[in-house]
Amino acid sequence: MKKFLILSLILITMAGSAYAKTIKVTVNGMVCAFCVTGIEKTFKKQPAVSDIKVDLDNKLVTVTTSDKKDLDDATIKKLITDAGYTVTDIKREK
């Protein structure tokens, strides 16, 4: 019984963190603070996004999704492209 409880707690803990994902998107064309603000506003409107960080120097957009939600690569590319930029790479982390 004790092993079952410990295993259950481990699985519950893992399940909670397994859904939140970090997506790192390399973007070409960002050159100023206005670019950063525009991308931040675009992604903050998405219900799946819990946090967004834009690193202008490294041309990197880091998106953290909400629990049990995700953004597919096509949606990410469309949001970036519609904002006037080009996606060069998308990497996902848990």
Domain boundaries, the chain: 20-93
Q: Convert the pLDDT of each residue in 33-52 to its tens digit.
A: 999 999 999 999 999 999 99
H helical segments located in 1-94: 2-18, 33-44, 73-82
Task: Determine the Cα–Cα distance for residues 44 and 58; give it in Å rounded to an integer.
Answer: 21
Task: Determine the Cα–Cα distance for residues 85 and 80; give it in Å rounded to an integer.
Answer: 6
Overall pTM surpassing 0.75 (yes/no): yes
Position 8 pLDDT exceeds 60 = no
- The CATH architecture assigned to 20-93 reads 2-Layer Sandwich (3.30)
pLDDT for position 78? 96
